[in-house]
């Protein structure tokens, strides 16, 4: 039986959408190394992409010279990703749960990212710190993946 190794890794990215491919590559590799299957790796990577897209578009409002940090802490069965930025704080409670039909009528895709993150991850938590914001995403390794 392969046991999941402990992983601690951190990388800093520029706040441009160009960085999203690098973020995905970073998370993809670590999630696979931890023992997730292909489907789960894709889901985790997508959730992190959505979190970082929100940082780039909303926290930094497209300002390209800022930075954000992606930290992966994985141990036991818990794979945790923390995305941290130093931009405008984000109030997830103010983002309504999207009704796809409504969104479709209003031509708006905003809020879909948060909705996806919540569907794809076991935990999605926002924390407003003094000078930074953090979103913590957790996905647990299930039994059948640890083979």
Partner 1 sequence: MNEFKVLTRESGNAVVMELQGFLDAHTAPDLEKTFSELMSKGKYNIVVNFDALNYISSAGLGVFMAYIDEVRNNHGDIKLANMQQKVFNVFDLLGFPYLYEIYKDQEEALKKFNSR
For Cα atoms 76, 32, 116, give the angle at the middle one, nearest 5 degrees: 90
How far is residue 54's CA from residue 60's CA, in Å, rounded to a whole number? 9
Can residue 127 be called a binding residue for partner 1 (CB under 8 A)?
no
User: Do residues 34 and 74 make contact, with C-beta atoms less than 8 angstroms apart?
Assistant: yes
Number of residues binding to partner 1, judged by CB under 8 A: 29
Among 34, 66, 70, 113, the residue binding partner 1 under the rule CB under 8 A is 113
Among 93, 94, 105, 130, the residue binding partner 1 under the rule CB under 8 A is 105
User: Do residues 132 and 85 make contact, with C-beta atoms less than 8 angstroms apart?
Assistant: yes
Span near partner 1 by CB under 8 A; candidates 63-71, 74-82, 116-124, 130-138: 116-124
> Which secondary structure element, helix H or strand E, spans residue 80, and what is its range?
strand 78-85
What is the three-class DSSP state of 126? strand
Q: Which residues, 66 to 95, sit near partner 1 by CB under 8 A?
A: none
Interface with partner 1 (CB under 8 A): 16-18, 20-21, 24, 39, 42, 46, 49-50, 53, 56-57, 100-101, 103-105, 107-110, 112-113, 115-116, 119-120
């Amino acid at each position: 039986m392969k046991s999941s190794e402990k992983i601690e890794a951190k990388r800093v990215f520029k706040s441009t959408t160009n960085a999203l491919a690098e973020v995905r590559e970073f998370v993809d590799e670590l999630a696979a190394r931890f023992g997730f299957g292909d489907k789960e790796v894709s889901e985790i990577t997508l959730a992190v992409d959505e979190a970082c897209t929100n940082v780039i578009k909303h926290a930094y409002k497209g300002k390209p010279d800022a930075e954000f940090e992606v930290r992966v802490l994985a141990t036991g069965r818990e794979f945790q990703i923390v995305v941290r930025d130093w931009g405008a704080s984000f109030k997830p409670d103010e983002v309504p749960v999207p009704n796809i039909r409504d969104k479709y009528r209003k031509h708006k895709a905003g809020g879909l990212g948060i909705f996806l993150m919540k569907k794809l991850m076991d935990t999605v938590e926002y924390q407003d710190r003094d000078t930074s914001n953090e979103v913590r995403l957790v996905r647990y390794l299930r039994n059948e993946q640890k083979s």
